[in-house]
């Protein structure tokens, strides 16, 4: 069976194909991150902006350093499902800011609370630092569901390195019997 890309995905793929990032191995981690961020800024300039009720910056206690988490709150009353976003970037690139519009989109479209985790990245922090940070943030969201306005439904989502994290976090949660994660989205 042959599958076709959705026309909008196909157009996006063609647009992104013209934007180039030098290979990560040819740059320092800082240079690679800067190039990646510039790419996202250029691409997002053509993306319609979504509005959410509120964006808050949190700094949670992590297993190593404190972990920054950006929260996106929908414009709605009552408890909502919680979504933990784990950004991509090949373990070195990517950060919360490069996925800002995507997280706004998720919050608006899914009518959920979105928590975007800025886990520690390689090379400065080799694995399992990113996994530990992502797991700690997901557990904190679940443990404070009532404080954040969640309704006990918890999902994790990620692409690239975040895809791997979005698979690892539920396995760790299962092995510890907490938190209960109801959905997992791994974006290829």
Burial environment of residue 55 by CB neighbours within 10 A (0 to 12, 13 to 18, 19 or more): middle
Confidence band of 47 (pLDDT split at 50, 70, 90): low
pLDDT attached to residue 41 = 65
For all residues of the chain together, what is the average pLDDT? 87
Residue 1 has pLDDT above 60, yes or no: no
Rounded CA-CA distance 142/156 in Å is: 11
Rounded CA-CA distance 88/116 in Å is: 11
Average pLDDT over residues 134-143: 96
pLDDT attached to residue 58 = 95
Residue 19 has pLDDT above 60, yes or no: no
Given a contact cutoff of 8 angstroms between Cβ atoms, the answer to whether 142 and 154 are in contact is yes
pLDDT attached to residue 154 = 97
Rounded CA-CA distance 127/130 in Å is: 6
Confidence band of 37 (pLDDT split at 50, 70, 90): low
Confidence band of 45 (pLDDT split at 50, 70, 90): low
pLDDT attached to residue 159 = 94
Confidence band of 165 (pLDDT split at 50, 70, 90): very high
pLDDT attached to residue 104 = 95
pLDDT attached to residue 6 = 78
Report pLDDT digits (tens) over 76-114.
Answer: 889 999 999 999 988 887 888 889 999 999 999 999 999
**Whole-number percent of the chain with pLDDT over 90:** 59
């Amino acid at each position: 069976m042959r599958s076709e890309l959705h026309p909008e995905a196909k157009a996006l793929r063609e647009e992104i194909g013209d934007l180039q990032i030098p290979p990560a191995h040819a740059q320092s981690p800082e240079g690679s991150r800067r190039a990646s961020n510039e790419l996202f800024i250029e691409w997002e300039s053509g993306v319609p902006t979504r509005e959410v009720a509120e964006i808050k910056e949190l700094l949670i206690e992590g297993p190593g350093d404190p972990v920054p988490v950006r929260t996106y709150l929908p414009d709605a009353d009552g408890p909502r499902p919680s979504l933990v976003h784990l950004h991509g970037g090949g373990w070195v690139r990517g950060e919360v800011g490069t996925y800002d519009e995507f997280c706004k989109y998720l919050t608006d479209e899914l009518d959920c609370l979105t928590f975007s985790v800025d886990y520690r990245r390689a090379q400065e922090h080799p694995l399992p630092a990113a996994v530990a940070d992502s797991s700690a943030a997901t557990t904190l969201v679940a443990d404070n569901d009532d404080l954040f306005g969640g309704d006990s439904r918890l999902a994790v989502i990620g692409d690239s390195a975040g895809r791997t994290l979005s698979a690892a976090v539920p396995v760790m949660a299962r092995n510890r019997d907490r938190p209960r994660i109801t959905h997992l989205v791994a974006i290829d």
